[in-house]
C-alpha cells in the first residue's frame, strides 16, 4: 500500500507544493521585474538585455538602416539613470561600446537625427566625466569571421575552439547539396560523453529538416531572419521519466551540459550554429511539443539552428566579463 501511495500522481503533486511555493516566492522576489528601480543589479540586467537586443541586430544578413531606434533611446536613458544613481563602473564598458558602435553605424548610413545626436552627446558626457576617451570603448558591435577559419577549428586545442565558437545568424543556403546530416550525427556522438546526474543520460535529441525545420524555427520566434537559410533545427529535451520528485531541475542541468558539448562539437565539425532559447510562454512550448512530435514525458530545454558558414559573415562581438567580476574564492 505504501508503495502504491508513493506512485500516486496527485499525492506526489501535493507533497511537492511547499517546495514549489518556496521556489516561486523566492524567484518572484528576486527577478528583474520585482522592485526594479531599487536594485542596482536588476537595473543593470535591463541594460544588458537591451545591449544584446541591439548588438545581435548588427549580425543579421540584411540590417535595416533604421533598426533599433526605440531600443537605443531606451538604453541611453537607462544608462544615464544608472550612472546618476550608482556612478560609472567597468560593467558599463560593453553597453557604452554598443552605443558608440550604433552611432558609427548611423553615421555610415548618413542617418543621424537631432534626437539621436542629443542621446549620443549624453553618453559622450558620461565618458568625459569619468576621464575616459571614446576610443576606450571597443567591446561591442560586430566582427567578421571567414568560412575557412571556422572549418579549421576541428584541429585546434580546446581553449582555441572555445574562444572562436560564435553564434551565427548569417548562414549560406547555397551549399545545401553538401548536407550536414553526417556531421551532425558525429557531433551528437561526441556530445553523448557529456556528464549527467548518475550517468542517467536523460537528454533526448530531435533533429528537423525541411518543412519541420521551418516549423520549429518559426514557432520559436527568434529565428525569422535566418529561418530559411538554416539547414536544420535541433531540439534538446530532458526525459522526466529519469528523475525523482525532488530532482525537477536536474533535467535542465543535464540537458544544458549536453547542449553546450553539442555546440562545441558542431563547431568542431564545421557546422555553423546558434542556440535559441526555449524559455518561452507555456502556450508556445506546448505548441512546439504538439507540432514537432515531442513525447509528453520530455521537456524541451533548448533549440539549435544549424547551417553552413558563409564565405564571410558578421557576428556579434559579445565581449565577456572578466572572470574576477563573477568569481568568488572562499578561503575560510
Length of the chain: 332
Contact 213, 230 (CB under 8 A): yes
Q: What is the pLDDT of residues 29-54, one digit of tens each?
A: 899 888 888 899 999 999 999 999 99
pLDDT value of position 4: 67
Neighbours of 89 (CB within 10 A): 13
pLDDT tops 80 at residue 205: yes
What residue spans define the domains of the chain? Answer: 36-140, 143-315
Residue 173 confidence class, pLDDT cut points 50, 70, 90: confident
Q: What is the pLDDT of residues 285-331, one digit of tens each?
A: 999 999 999 999 999 999 999 999 999 988 988 888 889 989 999 99
Dist. CA 262–CA 260, nearest whole Å: 5
CA dihedral sign of residues 309, 304, 314, 153:
negative
Contact 235, 287 (CB under 8 A): no
CA distances from 73 to 142, 143, 240 (A): 20, 24, 44
Residue 213 CB contacts under 8 Å (≥ 6 apart), including other chains: 230, 231, 232, 233
Closest CA to 149 of 307, 311, 304, 308: 311
**Which position has the grid cell 538602416?**
65
Lowest mean pLDDT among 53-57, 70-74, 195-199, 238-242: 53-57
Residue 73 CB contacts under 8 Å (≥ 6 apart), including other chains: 115, 119
pLDDT value of position 251: 95
Q: What is the pLDDT of residues 107-151, one digit of tens each?
A: 988 888 999 999 999 999 999 999 999 999 999 988 999 999 999
Kindly give the residue spans of alpha helices, DSSP state H, lying in the chain. 2-6, 9-30, 40-58, 69-86, 93-108, 114-129, 147-151, 158-164, 181-191, 210-220, 250-268, 282-291
Record the cell numbers describing residue 48, joined without a space: 544588458
Residue 229 CB contacts under 8 Å (≥ 6 apart), including other chains: 61, 170, 171, 172, 173, 307
**Which position has the grid cell 525537477?**
248
Residue 1 confidence class, pLDDT cut points 50, 70, 90: low
pLDDT tops 70 at residue 266: yes
Q: What angle, 0 to 180 degrees and rounded to 10, lies between the N-to-C axes of helices 181-191 and 250-268?
A: 130
pLDDT value of position 88: 95
The overall pTM is greater than 0.75: yes
Dist. CA 225–CA 324, nearest whole Å: 36
Closest CA to 309 of 144, 101, 142: 144
Record the cell numbers describing residue 195, joined without a space: 556528464
pLDDT value of position 7: 75
Dist. CA 54–CA 70, nearest whole Å: 10
Please tell me the CATH code under which domain 143-315 is placed. 3.40.109.10
Name the average pLDDT for the chain.
Answer: 92
Amino acid at each position: 500500500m505504501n508503495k502504491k501511495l508513493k506512485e500516486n500522481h496527485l499525492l506526489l503533486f501535493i507533497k511537492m507544493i511547499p517546495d514549489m511555493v518556496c521556489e516561486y516566492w523566492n524567484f518572484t522576489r528576486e527577478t528583474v521585474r520585482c522592485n526594479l528601480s531599487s536594485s542596482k543589479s536588476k537595473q543593470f540586467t535591463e541594460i544588458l538585455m537591451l545591449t544584446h537586443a541591439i548588438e545581435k541586430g548588427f549580425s543579421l544578413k540584411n540590417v535595416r538602416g533604421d533598426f533599433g531606434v526605440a531600443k537605443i533611446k531606451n538604453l541611453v536613458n537607462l544608462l544615464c539613470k544608472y550612472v546618476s544613481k550608482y556612478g560609472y563602473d567597468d560593467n558599463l564598458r560593453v553597453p557604452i561600446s554598443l552605443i558608440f558602435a550604433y552611432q558609427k553605424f548611423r553615421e555610415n548610413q548618413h542617418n543621424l537625427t537631432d534626437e539621436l545626436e542629443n542621446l549620443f552627446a549624453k553618453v559622450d558626457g558620461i565618458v568625459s566625466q569619468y576621464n575616459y576617451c571614446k576610443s576606450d570603448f571597443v567591446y561591442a558591435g560586430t566582427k567578421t569571421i571567414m568560412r575557412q577559419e571556422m572549418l579549421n577549428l576541428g584541429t585546434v586545442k580546446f581553449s582555441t575552439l572555445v574562444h572562436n565558437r560564435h553564434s551565427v545568424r548569417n548562414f549560406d543556403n547555397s551549399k545545401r547539396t553538401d548536407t550536414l546530416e553526417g556531421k551532425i550525427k558525429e557531433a551528437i556522438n561526441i556530445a553523448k560523453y557529456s556528464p549527467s546526474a548518475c550517468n542517467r543520460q536523460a537528454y533526448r535529441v530531435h533533429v528537423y529538416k525541411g518543412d519541420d525545420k521551418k516549423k520549429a524555427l518559426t514557432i520559436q520566434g527568434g529565428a525569422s531572419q535566418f529561418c530559411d537559410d538554416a539547414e536544420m533545427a535541433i531540439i534538446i529535451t530532458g526525459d522526466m521519466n529519469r528523475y525523482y520528485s525532488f530532482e525537477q531541475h536536474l533535467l535542465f542541468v543535464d540537458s544544458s551540459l549536453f547542449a553546450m558539448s553539442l555546440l562545441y562539437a558542431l563547431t568542431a565539425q564545421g557546422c555553423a550554429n546558434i542556440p535559441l532559447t526555449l524559455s518561452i510562454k507555456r502556450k508556445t512550448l506546448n505548441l512546439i511539443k504538439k507540432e514537432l512530435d515531442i513525447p509528453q514525458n520530455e521537456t524541451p530545454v533548448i533549440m539549435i539552428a544549424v547551417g553552413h558558414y558563409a564565405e564571410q559573415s558578421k557576428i556579434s562581438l559579445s565581449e565577456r566579463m572578466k572572470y574576477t567580476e563573477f568569481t568568488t574564492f572562499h578561503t575560510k
